[in-house]
Amino acid sequence: MEGLTDRQVEILKSARDSGRVTVEELARQFEVTPQTIRKDLNDLCDRQLLSRIHGGAVVTSGVRNLSYDARRFVAAEEKRAIGRAAAALIPSGTSLFINIGTTTEEVADALCDHEQMLVITNNLNVAMQLSRRTGFEVIVAGGPVRPGDGAVVGASAADLIQQFKVDTAVIGTSAIDEDGWLFDYDFREVRVARAIIENARRVVLVSDCTKLDRTAPVRITHIDHIDVFVTDYMPSAKLRDLCREKGVLLIETMPERANEIEATD
């Protein structure tokens, strides 16, 4: 691409292949210092080709999400911690919505010690995870299955969701802005997400902080419709204050990351 060095082109290709690159791995790959890689990443971010995250960068796109396989590797450690913290908020013997997302799948995985759960989901990966567990009743929303990530989307899925009123909904999002709006890429998925939010007594948002560096075109809802927001850490003072103002319980599983970023970036 015009104006990019050969190394920056290779960095961009690696990011597009895997969804995420890290300073440490790139420094080893190209046999240069971490400072050199940080400069490359900053240049790519200035061109809006990548977005900086802790220790590296992710692909930037305002209209198309990363592939499912790539998303699984982005902030994987952070998502596991978020999943464990969210699962700890959910009692056994309750009803639950779980929607699409690699982070919501971590919540499902962390429900291993729960008993007697009713789970309604439009996520085929979650359905497969939980249907094997004794004491779990799993209901899958019907409708078209989106290729690649096992998402059941569209009007028929939303219609099934609306037949229930559950104790807790666990939802993910593709992007969050500092004004508190949640966004996604697929309007069909958003329709289901809205139905989930409207038919739950408590809504738990699970999302790592990289979502604050991303944009997506379809609005889901505002943070004031969320009861609990579980994240790795909150880098935005404005969004933190908004959560406090709207009565959203903010749970940070890795608050120390804020200090690490200040030290390394």
Give per-residue pLDDT as tens, 1-17: 668 899 999 998 888 77
Give per-residue pLDDT as tens, 187-199: 999 999 999 999 9
Give per-residue pLDDT as tens, 95-150: 999 999 999 999 999 999 999 999 999 999 999 999 999 999 999 999 999 887 88
Output the CA–CA distances (angstroms, integers) from residue 136 to 47, 154, 255, in the order listed: 48, 25, 33
d(CA 20, CA 120): 31
Res 100: pLDDT: 92
Res 51: pLDDT: 76
| Domain 75-261: assigned CATH number | 3.40.50.1360
Looking at the predicted structure, is the pLDDT value of residue 222 above 90?
A: yes
d(CA 260, CA 264): 6
Q: Are strands 117-121 and 95-98 parallel, antiparallel or unpaired?
A: parallel
Sign, CA torsion 242/247/253/259: positive
Which of 82-96, 212-226, 229-243 is predicted least confidently?
212-226
The answer to whether 151 touches 122, Cβ cutoff 8 Å, is: yes
Contacts of 214 (CB under 8 A, 6+ apart): 51, 58, 60, 61, 62, 174, 175
Give per-residue pLDDT as tens, 56-98: 887 765 545 555 556 666 678 899 999 999 999 999 999 999 9
Res 260: pLDDT: 56
Percent of the chain scored above 70 by pLDDT? 90
| Domain 6-60: assigned CATH number | 1.10.10.10
pTM of the model: 0.80
